[in-house]
Structure 1
């Protein structure tokens, strides 16, 4: 857009990044280059264990050979149902080396949810934790298209002194499934051929990433190898990742944010990827002290939980050169509280599964402005290559400062949804993604998300955006987290209700919080009811689930 490109600092930032070398054709190409250039550098760190780029390359070669020997063909799908463990990375690379497509699955899914993914994506192979296999996966795969079953032991690869670091190739680890590391080792020992040596085409599907289902049945976005590689390289540039160091996995790897901003950006740039199974604040803070990471990204709710933990101090965050938040709204008050607790500025970012993670970010070295009218913190500026437009209800582009639906096009946008042509055409007309988020762009190119279209509350004909009310609640010293929804009201049609959790050691009454908002918001906006709860319901990626509160 001409008015955006005319802004001096944005134009310089955009031109400088465009002048850098093009990203690799795929994350697999980038990983192979890293393994060739720094074979003995640590690729994966998991508690006390380390795997070098060479070892990770060899193990994924072995798994690719095992899959091919079991009849896994190019284009087949491997579902990975794991937490943040090294086997996730080995399986991802192994499937791509075999010419396959990876389907990352939330390990908190149960039978019905997993069965939907297995059937919808026609999954040929599945990898899960041993406990999940015994608990429900074994029964779920029966009657599904799955014909190859693999498991991972959560205790493997935790320490270099543990003999399970590379388990002996002596048959199945559990009845009905092969241990993924043992299978890889056996294939290497037998010198089975590794397929797809040339690497994938940028336009080929790399992932089928299922949406969280907040607007209906989860559907699979088809992220291409080119989508992932483009954003992985963009993350390195925008966050200023150094030539060496550690990226900590705060966002789960099965989520597109963790997949691209952490895994892909690290492996394409010879960085170490440090994992700690799943998010637990005390474990994460200990990992910060041990691994001294330079970069991580996670939802605002994770940073809020870290701030509330007694181990938090500035020293544990002192190694970071950049921290980013994404996947959930970031209130301005949380940014300031985090800076006070950690000494670090928390950069905002915005993306969707359909944009292969980030399409708008706050560049390192810049601080996001706050939109004066609503008090909303900017999510950043469009990344180089992304075209962000604000559209009215008829699809016409709106001028700076006016709110409408955010639409995104560029090399990071998926071509469509897996085998859903009608939904693809509706959400991606002409290749431009209609996000369903309401936002605006100011005259300096900063983008602001107002809220989800479907979350708007209609109180006596007045529009109330939950984000605006939540941002006010976050400024109250006792509030840890807040979520606002519309509830039926005989007189107003809908009215505003807030759900709030409190910070440790703080106390507040519902009436006090209502009065606090009443002083700071228009009469139709402040919540008529506040309910204090211990925890707010969230997705595993940290996004608060308003639908459950309704």
Structure 2
């Protein structure tokens, strides 16, 4: 197939990548051998060097084996970004287990589904989240629970002050005696490093990453060691500037339980021997402070995080000029947001694209070369992409269809869901469910999610296009556009807007602005101002939840 995008790769970015066919934990082992005294993790003043991290990981692997975990068993990890997450993740792999990333915000119902669907027999959980597990403990097949607290990896005196503060805020949980429960800290102390980490094959499953929770019942994408190793090297190859190897500083603000944070922050940072500054929540103030304090060079994030950064009070006076490169993922990056961020930092903020089923990165704009605002960029090294029509025939440049991709990073399939797998992967091509187009130069553009497209009066309206216009308005901080039922048009376009602090605009003014910038059928018929929009912990606007809120509000009124 023709690959016009290759002509626009940055110098040094290869068409194909050479990645080692090794278990994912080898990336950490290699960095520990190469940079033993480099700080690997920084967490609120507590630091772990690479040599220490690798030892802790092997101790955790041995602990799992001593508790009776067998090869191929699933270990669910329900933790925010903290040293324990990294140790549990890689430690599980050294013991031959399969990781299951669990969102710490999950309700008991959601946790129950994921534990039962994955068949996890081990759960690693933050002590404060114990009550959620306890509520469903009798309904799941978990044999052992490993608990840990934020205070376990805080320096003195923070480790003593944290429980006091948590009790005062009524967040402290006293753990009841339970024969199934084990202390993370005690297990590491009482177990020696595993002597022979499990030498998993490239196509063995390393991770069950659940997806589809925003659109329906979550299902587990089976990501192999090959998938995750390849995607880590694909991400590294995209920024071929090597003077930061072993010297970079990665801001670990985006959650590692999300596949984007896991690959682009955790695995990337560890493979390159970077210091990873861990933040348990992706909040703007700690991000700004961490950039200043640690001279952060890499700041992967999502659009809402960059919006917050741009609007942070006094940001113009903060020392944020160490940032070199940021890849924005998980949602569309508004043009105005990228422009302003680059003005403030002097670094590069490029829009990328990925999906859980591809580990997740597939496309990105060149960091140093020709970027096209509004585009997700070019297929990354080793990735092939095309636009297909309803009968899966390839569409020519400029035509709109469904984005299909293939490469070494594409999942094995969905866990215990062969029918869903057969719909998603057709003759080696992953059908993404995203409506897109490719231009003559091989740059791709997401027009919208297949499920989010609005059909109003027979016209196709793509919410992203309307949102781009709204984001360009000086008073608008965030915007979400969805279709709402309409007796005459079938659906009508509705815009839900969060204004910047201190700014004001009327519905009439926004309507005039949109009419000046959009075709009449695309102009929202409903404008509603909100204090906030529902978001996932990653910062992605949850349109399904927004629809549910609106439906509930109508019922209540």
- The aligned counterpart of 1:325 is 328
Per-residue CA deviations over 1:247-282 (Å, capped at 9, x if unaligned) read 111211000001001110111121111102112211
Aligned ranges 1:277-316 → 2 under 5 Å: 277-313=280-316, 315-316=318-319
Shift of 1:90: 0.5
- The aligned counterpart of 2:164 is none
| CA–CA separation in structure 2 for the residues paired with 1:23 and 1:444 | 31
1:179 matches 2:215? no
- The aligned counterpart of 1:202 is 202
Q: CA contact under 8 A between 1:27 and 1:268: conserved in structure 2?
A: no
Q: CA contact under 8 A between 1:457 and 1:486: conserved in structure 2?
A: yes
Shift of 1:174: 5.7
| CA–CA separation in structure 2 for the residues paired with 1:124 and 1:464 | 46
Q: Quick one: structure 1 residues 9 and 49, their matched pair in 2 at CA, closer, same or farther if it must change by over 3 Å? A: same
Q: CA contact under 8 A between 2:283 and 2:305: conserved in structure 1?
A: no
| CA–CA separation in structure 2 for the residues paired with 1:354 and 1:342 | 32
Q: Quick one: structure 1 residues 378 and 53, their matched pair in 2 at CA, closer, same or farther if it must change by over 3 Å? A: same
What do you get for the CA RMSD once the two structures are aligned?
2.0
Per-residue CA deviations over 1:481-514 (Å, capped at 9, x if unaligned) read 1011111222222111100001111111112111
Task: For residue 189 of structure 2, give the secondary structure of its aligned residue in structure 1.
Answer: helix
Shift of 1:12: 6.1
**Number of equivalent positions:** 530
1:149 matches 2:145? yes
Q: CA contact under 8 A between 1:99 and 1:195: conserved in structure 2?
A: no
| CA–CA separation in structure 2 for the residues paired with 1:227 and 1:396 | 26
With normalisation by structure 1, the TM-score equals: 0.92
Q: Quick one: structure 1 residues 23 and 447, their matched pair in 2 at CA, closer, same or farther if it must change by over 3 Å? A: farther
Q: Quick one: structure 1 residues 175 and 316, their matched pair in 2 at CA, closer, same or farther if it must change by over 3 Å? A: farther
Q: CA contact under 8 A between 1:348 and 1:368: conserved in structure 2?
A: no
| CA–CA separation in structure 1 for the residues paired with 2:54 and 2:41 | 11
1:137 matches 2:133? yes
Which residue of 353, 357, 367 maps to 2:356? 353
With normalisation by structure 2, the TM-score equals: 0.91
| CA–CA separation in structure 2 for the residues paired with 1:486 and 1:59 | 50
- The aligned counterpart of 1:101 is 98
Task: For residue 153 of structure 2, give the secondary structure of its aligned residue in structure 1.
Answer: coil
Task: For residue 236 of structure 2, give the secondary structure of its aligned residue in structure 1.
Answer: helix
Q: CA contact under 8 A between 1:27 and 1:228: conserved in structure 2?
A: yes
Structure 1, unaligned runs of 5 or more? 166-171, 371-376
Q: CA contact under 8 A between 1:28 and 1:199: conserved in structure 2?
A: no
Shift of 1:226: 0.8
Task: For residue 288 of structure 1, give the secondary structure of its aligned residue in structure 2.
Answer: helix
| CA–CA separation in structure 1 for the residues paired with 2:277 and 2:240 | 18
Per-residue CA deviations over 1:388-443 (Å, capped at 9, x if unaligned) read 11001111100111110000100010010001000001111122111100001111
| CA–CA separation in structure 1 for the residues paired with 2:487 and 2:318 | 53
Task: For residue 77 of structure 2, give the secondary structure of its aligned residue in structure 1.
Answer: strand
- The aligned counterpart of 1:246 is 249
Q: CA contact under 8 A between 2:10 and 2:368: conserved in structure 1?
A: no
Per-residue CA deviations over 1:438-492 (Å, capped at 9, x if unaligned) read 0011111111000011111111111111111111101100000101111122222
Shift of 1:72: 0.5
| CA–CA separation in structure 2 for the residues paired with 1:308 and 1:51 | 33
Shift of 1:234: 1.6
- The aligned counterpart of 2:78 is 81
Q: CA contact under 8 A between 1:360 and 1:379: conserved in structure 2?
A: yes
Shift of 1:317: 2.4
| CA–CA separation in structure 2 for the residues paired with 1:48 and 1:257 | 25
Q: Quick one: structure 1 residues 162 and 486, their matched pair in 2 at CA, closer, same or farther if it must change by over 3 Å? A: closer
Task: For residue 354 of structure 1, give the secondary structure of its aligned residue in structure 2.
Answer: helix
Q: Quick one: structure 1 residues 102 and 437, their matched pair in 2 at CA, closer, same or farther if it must change by over 3 Å? A: same
| CA–CA separation in structure 2 for the residues paired with 1:161 and 1:98 | 34
Shift of 1:195: 6.1
Aligned ranges 1:277-426 → 2 under 5 Å: 277-313=280-316, 315-370=318-373, 377-426=374-423
Which residue of 126, 136, 155 maps to 1:159? 155
- The aligned counterpart of 2:45 is 48
Aligned ranges 1:21-40 → 2 under 5 Å: 21-23=18-20, 25-40=22-37
Shift of 1:240: 3.9
| CA–CA separation in structure 1 for the residues paired with 2:498 and 2:411 | 36
